[in-house]
Amino acid sequence: MGCFSCFDGTQKEQRKEEERQASAEARARAAEAAQRRKEQFDKSAAGRAAQAQLQQMDKQSANINKGEPVLKWQMT
């Protein structure tokens, strides 16, 4: 068995490389699917409503604090 250890090591390396490639392909497919889902959501009514809500929140947060301290207190 000791004579063939170099062959076994080569097979392990090939198997690891194949697994790395398969993993990279799976990640790429998952990223593409996520991008498609995001595009579909952005086109949907819920996506447009969410985008409008985020824009409204940004406008409100820009107007709330105009350099004034958030917490005001007095010592008496």
Does residue 64 lie in a domain region? no
Does residue 24 lie in a domain region? yes
Range list of H helices, the chain: 5-43, 45-64
Domain of residue 49, residue span: 18-54
Does residue 12 lie in a domain region? no
Q: What is the pTM of this model?
A: 0.56
Q: Is the pLDDT of residue 12 over 80?
A: yes
* Arithmetic mean of pLDDT, 5-18: 80
Does residue 22 lie in a domain region? yes
Which pLDDT does position 71 carry in this prediction?
A: 73
Query: How many domains does the chain fold into?
Result: 1
Q: Render the burial of 23-39: b for 16+ CB within 10 Å, e for the rest.
A: eeeeeeeeeeeeeeeee
Q: Is the pLDDT of residue 24 over 70?
A: yes
Q: Is the pLDDT of residue 70 over 80?
A: no
